[in-house]
């Protein structure tokens, strides 16, 4: 159990020794190949690869958001619909970066600088341009790489100028389309408003319009109230008459209709006794009859007034139903007119806002060129030292691997160790290599 680590350490020692032995055996190939790779990289960097210059420009975006704005509607109805059409687009910083490398912008730069279309295409020019955002800022760094330092600076400056003009042009195009759409919508709304006004006037000019019905309703309601007031007065009078009749009937019941009377007979001179009508009873009877007559008259008036009131109430209910229906129709027509007027007002306001937004030079109000590109004096490519270092490392790895590969496929026996390793036979003796020095030492000169 204690001998196993010793054997393992011995095998590892033997493997490392073999590796160093192979490296030492093929050291000339490894060193030569590595030097060849470094030399090749040096020749390419110094004499073959053209120098590349990089021009830098700096842009400041003053109007940008962290996220792309969605269609937020500030109001409802027409206000909410036309609001997105008149809003100046607020772009994110990434949107600006995408536009800086768009084919449309590259095409404009090629036209501005009059570059050879056979050499510079929008796609190839975009590959020379790189835009990036400086950390925690709204600054965009624009870099252009080209073998011509002056052309690199010209391209960078042209990209900045054309980018500002492109933003303004796109804004004007968008606002122009918005104005055109809003004006078209306003014309259609004006036609709808004119038609709605005509419908309202036609409805109001009908024989039994809302105004006529309202006046008629007021008159009938006033009459009904008057009739009801009269009925109340009649009821009071009737109750008073009924009370008076009750009192008279009571008094009449207590009063005898006939009374004992004594008359002097003028012929005989005697006093005659007899009966005669009681004048009090007669008077009460007359008053009672008069009140009953008046009561009957008042009751007749009350009945007639009740019939008239019932008929008038039915007419008022019918008139009220007609008035409600026609008033609803008129309110609907008036509401449509008011809605179209409000729409026209909003459209006029939005057209004005769009025209103002169209006149804005948004390219120079939202993006500012902080620093123009200057002509670079030192190339950024090729990086000679870096290329040579990389070639050296790669050459060392490649030729070291090649050495192990050659050693692995070489099955020839050249040393006594090869005999022990490949044939597993002991070496009894060796024949030394005869050189001039060993020959002279053995046999003399």
What is the SS3 assignment for 164-195? Answer: HHHHHHHHHHHHHHHHHHHHHHHHHHHHHHHH
Choice among 35-39, 97-101, 152-156, 319-323 with the minimum mean pLDDT: 97-101
* pLDDT confidence tier of residue 269, bands split at 50, 70 and 90: confident
pLDDT for 3: 45
Select the highest-mean-pLDDT range: 14-18, 83-87, 227-231, 436-440.
227-231
CA distance 217 to 225: 12
Q: Is the CB of residue 142 less than 8 Å from the CB of residue 100?
A: yes
pLDDT for 292: 94
Select the highest-mean-pLDDT range: 263-267, 311-315, 362-366.
311-315
Tell me the per-residue pLDDT of 79-123, one tens digit each, with 9 for 90 and over. Answer: 666 666 666 666 778 888 888 889 999 999 999 999 988 889 999
Mean pLDDT of the region 178-182: 88
**Strand arrangement, sheet containing 53-61:** 129-133, 139-146, 53-61, 367-371
Mean pLDDT of the region 40-48: 89
Select the highest-mean-pLDDT range: 204-208, 305-309, 439-443.
305-309
* Residue written as token pair 């052309």: 151
pLDDT for 384: 86
Q: Which one-letter DSSP state was computed for residue 381?
A: B
* pLDDT confidence tier of residue 442, bands split at 50, 70 and 90: low
CA distance 321 to 412: 122
Comparing 248 with 364, the larger pLDDT belongs to 248
* pLDDT confidence tier of residue 443, bands split at 50, 70 and 90: low
Q: Is the CB of residue 145 less than 8 Å from the CB of residue 381?
A: yes
Q: Is the CB of residue 129 less than 8 Å from the CB of residue 100?
A: yes
pLDDT of 277 above 80: yes
Q: Is the CB of residue 275 less than 8 Å from the CB of residue 261?
A: yes
258: nearest Cα among 278, 273, 284, 282: 278
Range 210-331 has CATH code 1.10.287.370 = yes
Domain ranges of the chain: 44-203+353-381, 210-331
Indicate the average pLDDT of the chain.
85
User: Helix-strand-coil percent breakdown of the chain, rounded to 5?
Assistant: 70, 10, 20
* pLDDT confidence tier of residue 169, bands split at 50, 70 and 90: confident
pLDDT for 2: 43
Global pTM exceeds 0.85: no
Architecture label for domain 44-203+353-381: 2-Layer Sandwich (3.30)
CA distance 341 to 193: 7
pLDDT for 71: 47
pLDDT of 46 above 90: no
HSE toward the beta carbon, residue 221, CA cutoff 13 A: 10
235: nearest Cα among 310, 298, 297: 298
Tell me the per-residue pLDDT of 348-397, one tens digit each, with 9 for 90 and over. Answer: 988 888 888 777 766 667 888 889 999 999 888 888 899 999 999 999 99
CA distance 88 to 65: 13
Joined tokens for residue 416: 């006594």
Rg of the chain, C-alpha, whole Å? 61
* pLDDT confidence tier of residue 78, bands split at 50, 70 and 90: low
- Residue 371's H or E segment, with its range, is strand 367-371
Pairing of strands 258-264, 139-146: unpaired
Comparing 204 with 415, the larger pLDDT belongs to 204
pLDDT for 87: 64
Q: Is 354 exposed, middle or buried (0-12, 13-18, 19+ CB in 10 A)?
A: buried
pLDDT of 329 above 70: yes
Choice among 314-323, 333-342, 379-388 with the minimum mean pLDDT: 379-388
Comparing 204 with 431, the larger pLDDT belongs to 204
pLDDT of 7 above 50: no
pLDDT for 6: 46
19: nearest Cα among 400, 331, 440: 400
CA distance 392 to 38: 5
Q: Is the CB of residue 99 less than 8 Å from the CB of residue 126?
A: no
* pLDDT confidence tier of residue 262, bands split at 50, 70 and 90: confident
CA distance 279 to 252: 11
């Amino acid at each position: 159990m204690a001998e196993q680590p010793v054997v393992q350490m011995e095998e590892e020692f033997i493997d490392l020794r073999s590796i160093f032995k192979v490296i030492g055996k093929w050291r000339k190939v490894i060193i030569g190949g590595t030097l060849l790779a470094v030399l090749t990289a040096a020749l390419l960097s110094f004499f073959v690869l053209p120098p590349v210059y990089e021009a830098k420009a700096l842009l400041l975006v003053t109007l940008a958001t962290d996220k792309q704005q969605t269609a937020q509607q500030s109001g409802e109805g027409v206000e909410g619909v036309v609001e997105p059409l008149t809003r100046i687009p607020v772009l994110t910083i990434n949107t600006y970066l995408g536009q800086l490398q768009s084919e449309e912008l590259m095409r404009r730069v090629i036209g501005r600088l009059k570059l050879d279309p056979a050499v510079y295409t929008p796609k190839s020019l975009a590959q020379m341009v790189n835009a990036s955002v400086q950390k925690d800022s709204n600054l965009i760094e624009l870099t252009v790489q080209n073998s011509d330092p002056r052309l690199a600076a010209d391209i960078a400056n042209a990209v900045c100028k054309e980018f500002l003009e492109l933003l303004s042009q796109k804004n004007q195009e968008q606002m122009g389309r918005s104005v055109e759409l809003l004006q078209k919508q306003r014309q259609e709304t004006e036609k709808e408003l004119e038609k709605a006004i005509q419908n309202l006037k036609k409805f109001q000019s009908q024989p039994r319009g809302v105004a006529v019905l309202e006046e008629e309703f007021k008159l009938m309601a006033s009459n009904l109230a008057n009739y009801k007031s009269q009925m109340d007065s009649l009821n009071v009078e009737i109750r008073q008459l009924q009370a008076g009749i009750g009192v008279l009937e009571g008094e009449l019941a207590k009063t005898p209709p006939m009374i004992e009377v004594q008359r002097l007979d003028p012929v005989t001179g005697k006093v005659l006794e007899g009966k005669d009508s009681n004048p009090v009873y007669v008077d009460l009877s007359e008053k009672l009859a008069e009140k009953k007559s008046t009561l009957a008259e008042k009751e007749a008036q009350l009945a007639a007034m009740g019939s008239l009131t019932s008929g008038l109430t039915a007419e008022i209910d019918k008139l009220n139903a007609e008035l409600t229906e026609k008033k609803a129709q008129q309110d609907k027509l008036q509401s449509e007119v008011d809605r179209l007027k409000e729409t026209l007002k909003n459209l006029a306001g939005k057209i004005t806002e769009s025209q103002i937004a169209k006149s804005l030079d948004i390219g120079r109000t939202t993006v500012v060129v902080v620093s123009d590109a200057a002509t670079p004096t030192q190339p950024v490519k090729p990086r000679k030292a870096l290329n040579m270092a990389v070639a050296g490392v790669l050459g060392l790895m490649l030729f070291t691997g090649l050495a192990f590969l050659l050693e692995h496929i070489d099955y020839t026996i050249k040393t006594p160790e090869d005999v022990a390793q490949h044939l597993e036979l002991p070496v009894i003796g060796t024949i030394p290599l005869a050189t001039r020095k060993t020959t002279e030492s053995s046999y003399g000169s």
